[in-house]
Amino acid sequence: MTVLVTGGAGYIGSHALLRLLREGERVVTIDNLLRGHRRPIELLQERFPGKLTFVEGDIADEGLVSGVMAAHGVTTVMHFAALTYVGESVEKPLWYWTGNAAASLALLRVCDRSGVERFIFSSTAATYGQPGAEHVPIVETTPQHPINPYGASKLAFEQMLWDWCRQRASSGRPVGAAALRYFNVAGCDRGGLLGEDHDPETHLIPVILQAALGLRERIDIFGEDYPTPDGTCIRDYLHVEDLVDAHVRVMRALQPGETRRYNLAIGRGYSVREVIEACRAVTGREFAVRAGARRAGDPPVLYADPSLIANELGWRAEVTDLHAIVESAWRWFLEHPRGYGDSPARA
């Protein structure tokens, strides 16, 4: 069996590659390097000689992808490749529909023609939109009403997956599929090989750590007037290694004909202020914090009930302490203040 990982040069995809390679899986990854980095792929290839094939290209290129599937005998797909900025999706909706829905559909068409038996999709809490207080913590049956093109494009692909599974089951060639809905993924490989390098960076923890390193003037808090205990938004932060652990468990459990949907989260929320305090404690650095205006589209409180995957697969986040999540990121940021060093804007 060979696993195809799309988007393996990105933050989460590269951590998934590391885990799969550690498990002894044969892995091939396709990435167009639009936002991913060549360096983590090189590091993984050095660490696991001969075990990881990298193909630079786009998942929308059906000829390329079917060639890769046939050459490697791909039976499992982990689909991480995506555009992932909520704000950008509002500014460029058609680009997001193309990158996240149309390109993923092209990938699925190739899967349908090849020997793929299992498909595991990176979905998002953004598919739930802005659930009312009565729906928090979020469970998998919470209504999905995305409020931006990012969430909508991810939800559309979930629906394509379910339709594909239904049709394949009814035609006697069943396939298994899972949509894993991520909450706020954070932290870095605790072995120190891989990190988080987005350009532009907008995620809370890396932005704070860049401020702690003196690479940013300050951290702006997007709103202090939310209906939460300290007025700042609450999110459920999950360590990236726990996230990829869930993928491996799902991959091992998923049977032909099954569809699974799981929330991936620790099951408790931290406010923006709490995250800032955790970063101060871990880094021991002073940095400026400014209370600013709300950011459009931010729900006040998002955290999940992850008990479905706990009950069905025995998965629970191992790293539940926010300090430990921040520590793993800080170690990598201290050693790589400019990230992987190949982003034009920060080289």
If the CB atoms of residues 167 and 202 are measured against ligand UFG, the closer one turns out to be 202
Instruction: Name the residue among 257, 180, 248, 195 with its Cα closest to residue 27.
Output: 248
At closest approach, how far in Å is the CB of 159 from ligand UFG? 18
Tokens of 322: 């926010």
In DSSP notation, 221-234 reads EE-S-SSSTTSS-E
Cβ partners under 8 Å of residue 167, min gap 6: none
**CA dihedral sign of residues 347, 60, 241, 44:** negative
Task: From the candidates 11, 96, 128, 150, give the one annotated as an active-site residue.
Answer: 150
150 included as an active-site residue: yes
Strand partners, 178: 120, 260
Three-state DSSP at 130 gives coil
At closest approach, how far in Å is the CB of 221 from ligand UFG? 5
- Binding-site ranges for ligand UFG (CB under 6 A): 84, 86, 124-126, 150, 184, 202-204, 207, 219-222, 233, 235, 272, 295, 298, 302
If the CB atoms of residues 170 and 290 are measured against ligand UFG, the closer one turns out to be 290
At closest approach, how far in Å is the CB of 276 from ligand UFG? 9
Taking phi over 0 as left and psi of -120 to 50 as alpha, with beta for the rest, 192 belongs to: left
If the CB atoms of residues 114 and 184 are measured against ligand UFG, the closer one turns out to be 184
Strand partners, 56: 31
At closest approach, how far in Å is the CB of 235 from ligand UFG? 5
Instruction: Name the residue among 277, 282, 205 with its Cα closest to residue 240.
Output: 205
Question: To the nearest 10°, the Cα dihedral for 132, 138, 139, 140?
Answer: 90
If the CB atoms of residues 110 and 325 are measured against ligand UFG, the closer one turns out to be 325
Asked if residues 44 and 62 have their Cβ atoms less than 8 Å apart, the reply is: no
At closest approach, how far in Å is the CB of 267 from ligand UFG? 15
Asked if residues 37 and 344 have their Cβ atoms less than 8 Å apart, the reply is: no
Asked if residues 335 and 214 have their Cβ atoms less than 8 Å apart, the reply is: no
Work out the angle at residue 202's Cα, subtended by the Cα atoms of residues 201 and 208, and round it to the nearest 5 degrees: 90
At closest approach, how far in Å is the CB of 233 from ligand UFG? 3
If the CB atoms of residues 131 and 176 are measured against ligand UFG, the closer one turns out to be 131
* Interatomic CA distance for residues 206 and 201, integer angstroms: 7
If the CB atoms of residues 53 and 210 are measured against ligand UFG, the closer one turns out to be 210
Nearest residue to the partner ligand UFG, using Cβ: 233
If the CB atoms of residues 165 and 234 are measured against ligand UFG, the closer one turns out to be 234
Instruction: Name the residue among 5, 27, 1 with its Cα closest to residue 77.
Output: 5
At closest approach, how far in Å is the CB of 59 from ligand UFG? 19
Hey, which residues are catalytic here? 150
